[in-house]
């Protein structure tokens, strides 16, 4: 595709006027917009394709927060812990199938015994050729555990997991109104959409 064709294709969907409403977005709305784009990038990175929200952006409707149901999984991702969805499990299954044929018993779709016994995150890091997969999938027994027991267990396990996966704790940066206004002033959403395209 030559430069003229690229420019024409770009003009067919990108119009900065579609982003003017970003300036009137609430803080939660802006957070949702950034989270949607992170999820799109994850999808592109792992599967080479976008998703319905990316299609919506390319259709000239880039402000997803105006149409997004706040009861979806994106609402949960405002915290550092969230429930695993069937979508996560499906993504992991697809990734195992794509990257690691030796994870399965030959001639069947059964995982080998060694893979079954590995912690999920360790398996996925090995499958993705030791890339920066940093999510740890775990579960809590809410009925048989108190909040203090769960929090205490996490406190004890975090250093172990960080050492095991070689991921240091990151310092929390001060993030206030000034930085948020800069994100809007620097037109970060439209820039992200152009980069994803």
pLDDT band of 48, cuts 50, 70, 90: low
Asked if pLDDT for residue 60 goes beyond 50, the answer is yes
Sign of CA dihedral 142, 148, 150, 151: positive
Asked if pLDDT for residue 129 goes beyond 50, the answer is no
pLDDT of residue 76: 46
Asked if pLDDT for residue 77 goes beyond 50, the answer is no
pLDDT of residue 71: 53
Residue 76 CA to residue 87 CA, distance in Å, equals: 14
Asked if pLDDT for residue 92 goes beyond 80, the answer is no
Q: Kindly report which listed range (26-30, 129-133, 164-168) carries the lowest average pLDDT score.
A: 129-133
Instruction: Spell out a b/e string for 44-59, using b for 16 or more CB atoms within 10 Å of the CB, else e.
Output: eebeeebeebbebbbe
Q: Kindly report which listed range (8-12, 42-46, 75-79, 186-190) carries the lowest average pLDDT score.
A: 75-79
Residue 184 CA to residue 63 CA, distance in Å, equals: 13
Instruction: Count CB-CB contacts under 10 A for residue 190.
Output: 17
Residue 68: its H or E element: none
Structure tokens at 64: 């997803």
Decide: pTM greater than 0.75: no
More reliable by pLDDT, 129 or 109: 109
pLDDT of residue 97: 66
Burial class (CB in 10 A: 0-12, 13-18, 19+), 111: middle
Burial class (CB in 10 A: 0-12, 13-18, 19+), 138: middle
More reliable by pLDDT, 95 or 59: 59
Beta-bridge mates of residue 104:
111
Q: What is the mean pLDDT of the chain?
A: 77
Q: CA of 32: how far to CAs of 73, 75, 98, in Å?
A: 11, 8, 30
**Alpha helices, DSSP H, located in 68-165:** 73-76, 86-99, 113-117, 120-127, 147-165
pLDDT of residue 116: 67
Over residues 160-167, mean pLDDT:
82
């Amino acid at each position: 595709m030559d430069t003229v064709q690229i420019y024409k294709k770009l003009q067919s969907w990108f119009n900065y006027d579609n982003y003017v409403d970003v300036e009137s977005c609430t803080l939660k709305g802006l957070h949702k917009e950034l989270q949607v784009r992170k999820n799109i990038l994850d999808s592109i990175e792992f599967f080479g394709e976008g998703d319905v929200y990316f299609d919506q952006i390319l259709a000239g409707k880039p402000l997803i927060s105006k149409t997004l149901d706040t009861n979806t999984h994106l609402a949960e991702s405002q915290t550092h812990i969230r429930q695993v969805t069937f979508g996560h499990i499906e993504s992991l299954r697809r990734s195992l199938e794509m990257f690691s044929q030796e994870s399965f018993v030959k001639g069947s779709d059964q995982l080998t015994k060694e893979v079954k016994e590995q912690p999920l995150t360790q398996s996925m890091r090995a499958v993705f050729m030791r890339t920066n997969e940093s999510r740890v999938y775990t579960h809590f027994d809410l009925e048989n555990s108190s909040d203090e027991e769960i929090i205490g267990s996490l406190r004890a396990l975090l250093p172990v997991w960080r050492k095991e996966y070689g991921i240091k704790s990151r310092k929390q940066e001060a993030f206030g109104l000034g930085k948020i206004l800069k994100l809007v002033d620097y037109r970060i959403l439209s820039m992200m959409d152009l980069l994803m395209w």
